[in-house]
Amino acid sequence: MFHYTLRRLAFAIPTLLFISVILFLLLDLAPGDPTASLPLTIPLEVREKIRLSLGLGEPIHIRYAFWLKQFFVNEPLHLISSLTGFDVSGERLRVISWQSRSPVVDIVLERMPQTLWVVGLSYVVGILIAVPVGIVSAWRSNGWFDQIGTFVSMVGFSVPTFFSGVLLIVIFSVHLGWFPSIYDTTHRVTDLGSFFHQIRQMVLPVSVLALYNAAQISRFMRASTLDNLHLDYVRTARAKGMPERRVLLVHVLRNSLGPVVTVIALGVPGIFGGAIITEQVFKVNGLGHLLITAIQANDLPMVQTLTFIFAVLIILFNLVADLLLGILDPRIRYG
């Protein structure tokens, strides 16, 4: 297992480099122009000068090399400098966003808290709902609980968040006035009162996302549990007179978690990708909002860096998923 992990990690480096090249080519090939969002009253010669000042005059391999150096040399050096206080980075240029002309990594860090609070929490809530619902649905399959669970989760999955979010705002913000419709990213939790405010402003976006996540994961959980329920070991355990609760919660749960863990782990990088639509609806302005605005503004350094960080997380969590699968099911051998 240890060797397997090491080998996977070593293999990840060329993979990531390859992904970064593909990303760079893709973004370069995509039609789009960083000056497209400027008013039409700004003439074309001026736009051309702006494009040149962004470095778009250089050929693509030079720009790629620049980005590599900025991201893999200058950024870590800057991090070291700011952590230790020694100036090892000097005047090196960091990856700069075209929209805000500020270091991309700083903006990403600024966006992290609200994304983790809202999207991360909704994922946890979603899992906490989905796993028991999935097990019970499978255990009493086709019973009333299963029917209702299926119905709710299917509706939850098929109603897009751009609609459910607006619906919740209209009901709970406009008509009832219980929760704010705008998420305040500058809000700081200092005491009980501000903590309650934080909870209040998270309720709506977290519910929207949690419903969506729970719907998806509970389907996989139910399917996986169903598959295990009629395997021989379950019948053996039952025949030996083991209490049903123990059969279900110890044996079946452990064995049926495998595929679900894959799904869950695969979803974790998605947390960092943010939730583009939900963030937009509630103005959470997390990483999803950052990515979509950067794409719309053709802010290539930002998009490239964000998607690359995203790729690193995907590879990492795929490895985690594989390792977890191995731990949950010792029969799997990685060769």
Partner 1 sequence: MADAGHSRRLEAWARLAGQKSAVLGGGFFLVILIVVLLGPFVWTLDPQLVDIRDRNAPMSLDHPLGTDQLGRDMLARMMEGGRASLAVGMAAMLLSLAIGGVVGVLAGFVRWLDGVLMRLTDLFLALPLLPLVLVIILLFRDTLRSLFGQEAGIFMMVVVVIGITSWMQTARVVRGEVLTLREREFVIAARSVGTPPRRIVRRHILPNVLSPMTVSATLGIANAIITESALSFLGLGFPSDFATWGRLLFDATDYLQQYPGRVMWPGIAISLTVLSVNYLGDGLRDSLDPRISHRARR
Partner 2 sequence: MNRILPVILATAFILASATAKAERGRDGHVGILYWQAPSILNPYLSGGTKDLEAASLILEPLARHDENGTLVPWLAEGVPTVTNGGVSDDLTTITWTLRDDLVWSDGSPVTSADVVFTANYCLDPAGGCSGLTQFNDVVDVEAVDERIVRITFGVAKPYPYGPFVGANSPILQKAQFAECTGARAPECTDANFNPIGTGPFRVVEFRSNDVISLEANPHYRDPSKPAFATVTLKGGGDAASAGRAVLETGEFDYAWNLQLAPDVLEGMQDAGLGVVVSGFGTLVERLIVNLTDPSPGLGDERSTRTHPHPVLSDQAIRKALSMAIDRETLVEIGYGPAGRTTCNIVPAPAPYTSTANDDCLVQDIDGANRLLDEAGWLPGADGIRQKDGARLSIVYQTSTNAVRQDFQALIKHWWSRIGVETELRNIDASVFFGGDPGNPDTYLKFLADIQMYANGFDGTDPEPYLASWRCGNEPRPDTQWQGQNIPRYCNATYDALVDEMARTGEPDERARLGRMMNDMLMQDHVLIPLVHRGRVSAHSASLGGVLLNTWDSELWNVADWYRIR
- Residue 277 to residue 279: CA distance in whole angstroms: 5
Query: What would the x/- binding string for partner 1 be over residues 129 to 158, using CB under 8 A?
Result: -----------xxx-------xx--xx-xx
Dihedral of CA 328/329/330/335: which sign?
Answer: negative
47 binds partner 2 (CB under 8 A): yes
315 binds partner 2 (CB under 8 A): no
What's the full length of the chain, in residues? 335
* List 1, 6, 26, 38, residue binding partner 2 (CB under 8 A): 38
- CA-based Rg of the chain, rounded to a whole angstrom? 24
Region of 51-59, 84-92, 202-210, 216-224 interacting with partner 1 (CB under 8 A): 216-224
198 binds partner 2 (CB under 8 A): no
Closest CA to 310 of 288, 325, 279: 288
- Residue 188 to residue 197: CA distance in whole angstroms: 10
Nearest-5° Cα angle at 209, 291 to 273? 25
59 binds partner 1 (CB under 8 A): no
166 binds partner 1 (CB under 8 A): yes
Listed in sequence order, the residues at least 6 apart from 324 whose beta carbon sits closer than 8 Å to its beta carbon are 261, 265
- Pair 180, 201: CB distance under 8 Å: yes
Region of 66-74, 101-109, 111-119, 300-308 interacting with partner 1 (CB under 8 A): 300-308
* List 2, 3, 10, 31, residue binding partner 1 (CB under 8 A): 31
171 binds partner 2 (CB under 8 A): no
76 binds partner 1 (CB under 8 A): no
The contact set with partner 2 (CB under 8 A) reads 31-33, 35-54, 93, 96-97, 99-103, 106-107, 110-111, 166, 169-170, 173-174, 177, 180-182, 184-186, 279-285, 289-290, 293, 295-298
